[in-house]
Chains A and B, each alone.
Chain A
């Protein structure tokens, strides 16, 4: 069901809708990945990077105070925020950078929204001695100025993208354009489970470590599987990583939390499953926010990392077959959750992850005390503090 057919499809979604100039590059990547994914030496090196460099396995933390406060299901937090570089993004980046290195590539390019994927890519490039160029929407370079500085500190070049809405989608477009310009020495380190095959599969496999660990950890702590696992969804990499090893466990409910921005009934939203329709964009067939003529909509969310008009093809498929459900969470609800988790557990979650926390605040009190929810905290919220303060009317700048 969730297996990729040979052409890289998840049900009707996925595929390789890219210019001919890039076809041999993605074919080369597919072949290399097929070779290395089962290579013991590659996996040993990646595991070592995960454990020794990225601080894996990440903790599965029982949020006792939150559980007591909400009075319903037991809540566990999967602490991807404790990874090196502060988010789940590093899992995928270490995998892809290692793969690129094995392929003889010397240069990594990447898009970034909130800057977490850019920071992770810049980090891996520094570690592995590779050149790094990160494309970031100009709007996002303002929202996430600290991450721009971090990337430069790590030796990467950050190129502000001024086209379109100057956010994540435009950064993806510009990174794709740059890749068509230079494929021979360059690997496009795509940051989410999107784009043309093989990216949705490669990124999922590297992020699947999240659910692999959750499963092991929850069995150790509770002796059983959780009732709900949930995560925020932009492109959907931390969510698919959180879901993957539970897909075959039909009793585990999978919930993805999309960014509703100012609400799904407004134009200022990024909730793709709620408001989008089937389309073809950025190399894949999936759901996209778009107008009646297929023009991609200028989406909005307070979270730069979820501010994307599409969703990964495997999520689109899990939605179609009803295996996962996708809910929308507004800016306001996410900001409340950001503050709630900070005060209640002393954990400042990324504004992206706060979308998942916000939905947990709604459902946990309605569930019995013997139920278990696992929320993936995809990243830490230090990067968001200035923006949230401004949202609350406090004029602070980084």
Chain B
């Protein structure tokens, strides 16, 4: 059992996503600390991938900035070691299957456990392929986070029953990025999930402002926000940490009201 449940212990959770190494690793460190100090309950740390097929333009560009800046998987592990000197909230990685696979699944997940990573979100590992990594996740006590989409329908119960850590509910069709409307039956999805499991579920993809975050948290256990934060980083670069801190505070305040 990982540390992830603690993120949801004090009410609705706010979960920011940050691409590691965008624009550089020192800024990522500062952004994470700011997010923690302003109420983030769990942080998704993105390990950049050259071809992030589930991401919209904003996070794709962050991946390119980070990779051009020389980020590597080993440098991300070093970042987490340094963060863990002070940060106690749950941390999960969000990356693509090939990043984990090429490092060696056993070695990657063992290192996750050693440095204090609680879970993995891998959008190109659906239920059917999770055996690729679950043997190592079980071995080292790192949760492989399950995703459920508006198209999951009859797959919801099957996925939710075996879910660990938390369930990532994808708000709408398409890739990551801000949007003005969401799938109509999200509460229907979260209700179906709750019929079969107590594992908390958080909604992500497209949430960019406090109103949306509050609404999504009201029908789930938390809200996940990525592109809106990455936009702040794209705009302010090394000066982004305090701006991200302010944004996280406004979002956490909104989620608390839900």
Q: Which residues of A contact B (CB under 8 A)?
A: 7, 15-25, 163-164, 169-170, 173, 176-177, 180-183, 277-283, 288, 290, 292-296
Instruction: Report if A24-B151 is in contact (Cβ < 8 Å); known contacts: A279-B98, A279-B102, A293-B102.
Output: yes
Instruction: Report if A20-B53 is in contact (Cβ < 8 Å); known contacts: A294-B99, A294-B103.
Output: no
The minimal Cβ–Cβ distance linking A316 to chain B, given in whole angstroms, is 14
Which of chain B's residues have a CB closer than 8 A to the CB of A280?
Answer: 96-98, 101, 124, 132
A-B contact pairs, 9 of them (CB 8 A): A16-B126, A19-B54, A19-B124, A24-B151, A164-B51, A280-B97, A283-B124, A293-B102, A296-B98
A19-B126 in contact (CB<8A): yes
In the complex formed, the residue of A with least CB distance to B151 is: A24
In the complex formed, the residue of A with least CB distance to B60 is: A163
A181-B175 in contact (CB<8A): yes
Interface of A is mostly: mixed
A173-B51 in contact (CB<8A): yes
The stretch of B26-34, B142-150, B247-255 that contacts the partner chain? B142-150
In the complex, given contacts A180-B175, A277-B102, A295-B49, what are 9 additional A-B residue pairs having Cβ atoms less than 8 angstroms apart?
Answer: A16-B126, A17-B124, A20-B126, A20-B149, A23-B155, A163-B57, A164-B51, A176-B53, A296-B98
The minimal Cβ–Cβ distance linking B142 to chain A, given in whole angstroms, is 18
Q: Once the chains are docked, how many angstroms separate the CA of A86 from the CA of B98?
A: 36
Which of chain A's residues have a CB closer than 8 A to the CB of B126?
Answer: 16-20, 23
B210 part of interface (Cβ distance < 8 Å): no
Q: Once the chains are docked, how many angstroms separate the CA of A382 from the CA of B123?
A: 41
Which of chain B's residues have a CB closer than 8 A to the CB of A23?
Answer: 126-128, 149, 151-152, 155
User: Which of B54, B57, B127 counts the most A-chain CB atoms under 10 A from its CB?
Assistant: B54
Which of chain B's residues have a CB closer than 8 A to the CB of A290?
Answer: 98, 102
Proximity bits, B115-153, A CB within 8 Å = 1, else 0: 000000001111111001000000000000001111111
In the complex formed, the residue of B with least CB distance to A7 is: B128
A16-B101 in contact (CB<8A): no
Say which residue of A177, A277, A278, A293 sits within 8 Å of B73 (CB atoms): A293
Say which residue of B67, B147, B152 sits within 8 Å of A295 (CB atoms): B67
Q: Once the chains are docked, how many angstroms separate the CA of A177 from the CA of B153?
A: 20
Say which residue of A164, A180, A293 sits within 8 Å of B99 (CB atoms): A293
The minimal Cβ–Cβ distance linking A275 to chain B, given in whole angstroms, is 15
A293-B103 in contact (CB<8A): yes
Say which residue of B50, B56, B124, B147 sits within 8 Å of A296 (CB atoms): B50
Lowest 8 CB-CB distances: which A-B pairs, in order? A294-B102, A181-B174, A21-B149, A280-B97, A294-B98, A295-B50, A20-B147, A20-B149
Q: Once the chains are docked, how many angstroms separate the CA of A296 from the CA of B97?
A: 12
Proximity bits, B92-110, A CB within 8 Å = 1, else 0: 0000111111110000000
